[in-house]
């Protein structure tokens, strides 16, 4: 199997990949019961070469719910009736996950609320205040 090239210097080597094929549900006619087209691709994230520590941490965090008991990233593809296309799809998804982790997140720039949003907030507070005041009733009756 070929390595997955993510970007310059970042590579998922073939020994980090494990591929299994299984019969898939869905369209395919009679072939559904005969041909193993579903791809179960598992990736050992610790073997990815060229990832910086922050990028590795982002990848670990982004994939925390997609890992099996051994810590391998699980990517399943059954979009196509063709085994090769499903394998390519699974590899592309791994590539995009790693590429996303390589890009540092944008820093959030602090902004102030607009005049309209401030006015809407105050209008809402006024309405709630009036509603509560209306519920109190007269205190002279006691």
| pLDDT classification of 141: cutoffs 50, 70, 90 | low
- Any residues with CB less than 8 A from the CB of 58 and at least 6 apart, and which? 100, 101, 105
Q: Which domains does the chain have, with CATH numbers?
A: 4-102 (3.30.160.20)
Average pLDDT along the chain:
89
At residue 116, the pLDDT reads 97
The C-alpha angle with vertex 24 and arms to 23 and 26, in degrees rounded to 5, equals 145
Please give the pLDDT value at position 81: 82
Please list the helix, strand and coil fractions of the chain in percent, rounded to the nearest 5, in that order. 45, 20, 35
Query: In angstroms, rounded to a whole number, what is the distance separating the alpha carbons of residues 1 and 17?
Result: 8
Q: Is the pTM of this model over 0.85?
A: no
Please state, in angstroms and as integers, the Cα–Cα distance from residue 141 to each residue in 44, 106, 133, 135, following that order.
75, 61, 16, 15
Convert the pLDDT of each residue in 79-130 to its tens digit. 888 889 999 999 999 999 999 999 999 999 999 999 999 999 999 999 999 9
Q: Running DSSP on this structure, what letter comes out for residue 29?
A: G
Q: Provide the percentage of residues in the chain whose pLDDT is more than 90.
A: 68
pLDDT for 27 equals: 63
The Cβ of residue 54 has, within 10 Å, a number of other Cβ atoms equal to 12
Task: State the average pLDDT over residues 18-35.
Answer: 76
Q: What pLDDT was estimated at residue 28? A: 63
């Amino acid at each position: 199997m070929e390595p997955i090239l993510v970007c310059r210097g970042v590579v998922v080597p073939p020994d980090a990949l494990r591929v299994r094929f299984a019969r898939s549900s869905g369209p395919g006619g009679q072939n559904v019961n005969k041909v193993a087209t579903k791809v179960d691709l598992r990736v050992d994230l610790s073997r990815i070469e060229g990832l910086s520590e922050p990028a590795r941490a982002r990848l670990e965090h982004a994939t925390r719910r997609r890992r099996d008991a051994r810590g391998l990233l699980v990517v399943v593809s059954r979009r196509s009736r063709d085994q090769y296309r499903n394998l390519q799809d699974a590899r592309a998804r791994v590539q995009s996950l790693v590429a996303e982790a390589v890009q540092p997140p944008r820093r959030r720039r602090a902004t102030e609320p607009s005049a309209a949003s401030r006015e809407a907030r105050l209008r809402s507070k006024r309405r709630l205040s009036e509603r509560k005041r209306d519920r109190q009733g007269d205190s002279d009756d006691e």
